[in-house]
Structure 1
Amino acid sequence: MRLPLEGIRILDLSTMLPGPLCTQTLADFGADVIKIEQPKGGDFFRSSKPFLKDDTSSLFMLVNRNKSSLTINLKSEKGRQLFYQLVKKADVVVEQFRPGVVKKLKIDYDSLKAINPQIIYCSISGYGQDGPYRLNAGHDINYLGYSGILGVMGKKNEKPTIPSVQIADIGGGTFNSIIGILLALIARTHSGVGQFVDISMLDGAVGWLPYLASSYLATGNSPVAGDSMLTGGYAAYQVYETMDGKYLNIGAIEMHLWSNLCNFMGKPEFIPWQRVVEKQKEMLAFFSEKFKSKTRDEWLEALSTIDTCAGPVNTVEEAFKDPQILHREMLFEVEHPRLGKIKQIGFPIKLSATPARFDRIAPDLGEDNARIMSSLGYTRDQISEMEECGDI
């Protein structure tokens, strides 16, 4: 069956994480993604550790499958003209430069829509295309800091804890870019023209604030780490250490789940205290001591007999061996021509009729130069000449 995005061509100028993961997801569902990279070195992730065999980056392989690779020197006139030819037949352009760079390169939205009025142009940046921070450098930690998220991560009265996953990059950049591009494609079916999609990772991080914002917007009191139910201040929603030095998590927010846990632990008197601030210290002390009486897996087996929210704090290795994650095919193995068998993270979006597919491994730098340029009418000699001159 035809995949949802079959026939949609995307020119991907992005690098590192947010943009490439966005375009990989679209490629998984049939989009023809051409990853356009600078001739020398390519995407920064190509040289990022850890490496598989022959200095191939594991990280690059995880966010660039199902794409072609074309090298273009966008600073050269011939390179830019090649890019313009691609734009004529493209549906989407994704870029991740700091605001203003694409205008200097003459590949900004206004320049490209003059070539192809139907083009959808998605710009991913830290702070958006306007505002006082628009030209500032930034990474995930900076966006989380500005948004208020970082300030409530960690224990009460302690230094904020840096999250190990890129919340703003992926949650604010990748996912919102996917949504924005798909919305613009749908809008184009009505209007016949493309549009500009402005994605700010700071905006995306702020979009994650409903729970935290509800307190401030209702009372004027800003939440702090370790004070509320979902930030570690309550016994019902907590991480506990077990006898073997491992950890389990409890998420008994609903009263029936909390009641089941308290009764199971022989503490029915705790039931009405679930949200009583003054009782949290006593309950935390009890559960902290109690959970150290057995190993993590012994506790999880015991708790599986009742209806309550309990789970392990897995290592990444344990996660990829977890029966639920394996059953859902969130890790799969593919054959690489040089590296042999390598593993890929699976497809988190499951469609019943048109599921995602694996078509090809992440490409080598410039692997598809000849094929793509030949399709545009370039001869073998022209391709060789452009390569020698540094245009591709």
Structure 2
Amino acid sequence: MKPLSGLRIIEFDGLGPVTFAGMVLADLGAEVLRLSRNAAAGTAAFSEVGGEVLHRGRPAVGVNLKDPVDHARVLQLIGAADAVIEGFRPGVMERLGLGPEACATVNPRLVYGRITGWGQTGPMAQQVGHDLNYIALTGALHATGEPDRPPRPPLNLVGDYGGGAMLVVVGVLAGLLEARATGRGRVVDAAMTDGSALLMSLFHALKARGMWSDSRGANLLDGGAPFYRCFTCRDGGFVAVGALEPQFYAALITGLGLTADEAPQFDMAGWPALHTRFETLFAARDRDDWAERFAGTDACVTPVLSLTEAPAHPHNRARTTFAGTPLQPAPAPRFDGTVAVPVARPADLSLDAALMAWIAESPV
């Protein structure tokens, strides 16, 4: 049995963070119904591209939220649910008659998770945007990339998935714990701006102590340190070097054939020259040669693997980090007594079938 077995969650279909949050909750064992505005729920272009992975573990239920009959049936499902997650612009669900207040009338214990870019309130709440815009407003984007170039998008991991999806999952689970004790649900306002800012807590702490500057590429963890960055190898591959602690740095320079006198770690004035020295050394051998040379040491040197290469790495294979068809990241985190294998996307359900499955067991 998985940790969230027995929980019932309604996911109002969307892109990005809501989809990812629904996947994580389903991976953890929750029974999730993905309500799709598309009558042919599995035929949308994005579903065809990402649905086998991002929509795994839960069926789609085609609904027309503007149809009074479908609307009433959706409220019935909500009455039997533990939580709802949605990612529409503020006010959309209220206009559909499915906002938190309307849902609370049929289910006072309901936890209502809302993911937006800017949040439910504030002067930008109704403004459109994407992950890149949200993290731009928090300082996270400014801190990313090379010093002499514009900031580089860090995929959509920081805003959509880290600051949005994962924090709404935390918020919903916290709300569910409270609802069990009090009998009253909560509304979870997961703004990607808030979440992305929270993820930057360490760097605000360092800045407050004078240990971090606003200059990109001049700090300990942003590529400014020659012992915490990536290097190009002879074959065009890359290695990641993360030798922060002195004992790890000692293993690094030993592997590079250097001494502590030649390469003092925290002489920041000498970092530019040390960058150049390391670049020359790493460029003299192929990526996998370096990986083999540092294997089993404490130098914190690893090959930078592509999406194609990563599933074949022995460590990932041993842990079944990637599994399923198509090959995809397995559920995480792991729990004892459960197998971390992706559950394929079930066949789509009709609204009537979803009602029969839920309401027959939990009459409203």
TM-score w.r.t. the length of structure 1 is 0.86
Q: 2:331 aligns with which of 328, 335, 347?
A: 347
The range that moved more, 23-32 or 167-176, is 23-32
Alignment match, 2:233:
242
How many positions carry a matched residue from both structures? 360
Pair 1:120-2:120 in alignment: no
* Alignment check: 8 A CA contact 1:252 1:258 kept: yes
* Structure 1 position 186, deviation (Å): 0.8
Alignment match, 2:345:
362
* Alignment check: 8 A CA contact 1:11 1:35 kept: yes
Q: Any unmatched runs of 5+ in structure 1?
A: 49-55, 335-341, 379-392
Secondary structure at 2:226 match in 1:
coil
* Structure 1 position 369, deviation (Å): 3.5
Alignment match, 1:389:
none
Alignment match, 1:46:
44
Secondary structure at 1:137 match in 2:
coil
* Alignment check: 8 A CA contact 1:332 1:343 kept: yes
* Alignment check: 8 A CA contact 1:215 1:221 kept: yes
Pair 1:224-2:206 in alignment: no
Alignment match, 1:71:
62
Alignment match, 1:30:
29
Alignment match, 2:75:
84
Alignment match, 2:318:
327
Secondary structure at 2:126 match in 1:
coil
Alignment match, 1:5:
4
**Structure 2 vs 1, CA of residues 231 and 358 (structure 1 numbering), >3 Å: closer, same or farther?**
closer
* Structure 1 position 203, deviation (Å): 0.7
The range that moved more, 21-30 or 113-122, is 21-30
Alignment match, 2:354:
372
**Structure 2 vs 1, CA of residues 257 and 188 (structure 1 numbering), >3 Å: closer, same or farther?**
same
Pair 1:206-2:201 in alignment: no
Q: Any unmatched runs of 5+ in structure 2?
A: none
Superposition RMSD on alpha carbons, in Å?
2.2
* Structure 1 position 222, deviation (Å): 4.3
Secondary structure at 2:59 match in 1:
strand
Secondary structure at 1:159 match in 2:
coil
Secondary structure at 1:253 match in 2:
coil
Residues in 1 aligned to 2:275 and 2:236: alpha-carbon distance in whole angstroms: 17
The range that moved more, 350-359 or 17-26, is 350-359
Map 1:184-199; keep pairs closer than 5 Å: 184-199=175-190
Paired amino acid for 2:9: I
Q: 2:138 aligns with which of 140, 143, 147?
A: 147
* Alignment check: 8 A CA contact 1:21 1:174 kept: yes
Aligned-residue identity in percent: 26
Secondary structure at 1:26 match in 2:
helix
TM-score w.r.t. the length of structure 2 is 0.92
**Structure 2 vs 1, CA of residues 220 and 297 (structure 1 numbering), >3 Å: closer, same or farther?**
closer
Paired amino acid for 1:216: K
